[in-house]
Amino acid sequence: MSAASGAAPALKDGTPSCVPVHVGIIMDGNRRWARARGLPSALGHKAGADAVRRTVEAAAKSGIGWLTLFAFSSENWRRSEDEVRDLTGLLRFYLRHEIAALHRNKVRLRVIGERERFGPETVAAIREAEALTANNTGLNLTVALSYGSRAEIAAAARSLAQDVAAGRLDAAAVDEAMLTRRLFTLGMPDPDLIIRTSGEKRLSNFLLWQAAYAELWFTETLWPDFGATQLAEAVGSYARRERRYGAG
């Protein structure tokens, strides 16, 4: 089974590794963390950025190959203008000040989603960060920004429909693999494990197609308090599960 199917890599003795190839995280709880401390939401998001740093370092050390973080959903644009401004400002700060450390540690950064909605300054910073790290061979870090899985799937379906209408593609030839190749996640393995923080137990429009056979792990921990300990807990739970991929 290929990495794209979600299979864990083999160790030197041929036994399967207990470490998931690809982990996705729905980072939830920044605002609740701030409210519980009587702080503005902006400081909750800043603490969440610190948790990103810890988690990226822990994932790289644990042998996880791919880490995808749900940082800003397409629905987040409905939040207050002040909070969206704080979030986008923090994003630009992170891209400017953290990218050198990611590059030193051989992390490759990708961004998926409707990045154009963040404006030309942020789009340029994203492109520069992706270009700088494009040849790195360590952890593959993907950040989902202005991302919504239903819109992603709809866009892929429209692309296929346009090719059928133009005569470039036979409708009968359209299959799952063909649609998969039109998604933002082209070239990425499907997630083996999806983590959600803050006690919520839903996917919230995150990697719906790709997560068809992912294991799910939920924690009451708010995202700003997440780190190596909680990641190890999630990976430990994953290692104890038997994945059948619908075979029994």
Residue boundaries of the structural domains of the chain: 19-238
Residue 203: how many other CB atoms lie within 10 Å: 17
163 part of the active site: no
pTM above 0.95, yes or no: no
- Active-site position among 13, 76, 86, 170: 76
Mean pLDDT score across all residues of the chain: 90
Give the burial class of 66: count Cβ atoms within 10 A of its Cβ; 0-12 exposed, 13-18 middle, 19 or more buried. Answer: buried
- The fold adopted by the segment(s) 19-238 is Undecaprenyl pyrophosphate synthetase (3.40.1180)
| Exposure of 236 in the CB half-sphere (CA atoms within 13 A) | 6
> pLDDT digit string (tens) for 53-96?
999 999 999 999 999 999 988 888 888 888 788 888 888 888 88
- Cα–Cα distance for residue pair 68/25, rounded to 1 Å: 6
54 is in an annotated binding site: no
User: Is there a catalytic annotation at residue 192?
Assistant: no
What is the average pLDDT across 114-119? 90
pLDDT-derived band at 4, boundaries 50, 70, 90:
very low
Weakest mean pLDDT among 9-13, 45-49, 65-69, 156-160: 9-13
| SS3 assignment, position 11 | coil
Stretch 186-200: mean pLDDT, rounded? 97
